[in-house]
Amino acid sequence: MNFHELKQIVGTYVISYFDHKNFETDIPEFKGNVQTVENLIRIIVDKLCGKWPKGIDLISLKIFETTDNWAEYSV
**pLDDT digits 0-9 by tens, 2-18:** 999 999 999 999 999 99
Tell me what pLDDT residue 12 has. 98
Cβ 62 vs Cβ 70: under 8 Å: yes
pTM of the model: 0.88
Tell me what pLDDT residue 63 has. 95
Tell me what pLDDT residue 47 has. 95
Cβ 71 vs Cβ 60: under 8 Å: no
| Cα(1)–Cα(56) distance, integer angstroms | 8
Domains of the chain by residue range: 3-74
Tell me what pLDDT residue 75 has. 78
Local structure of 66: helix, strand or coil: coil
Tell me what pLDDT residue 21 has. 96
Residues of the chain with pLDDT under 70: none
Local structure of 73: helix, strand or coil: strand
| Cα(61)–Cα(45) distance, integer angstroms | 8
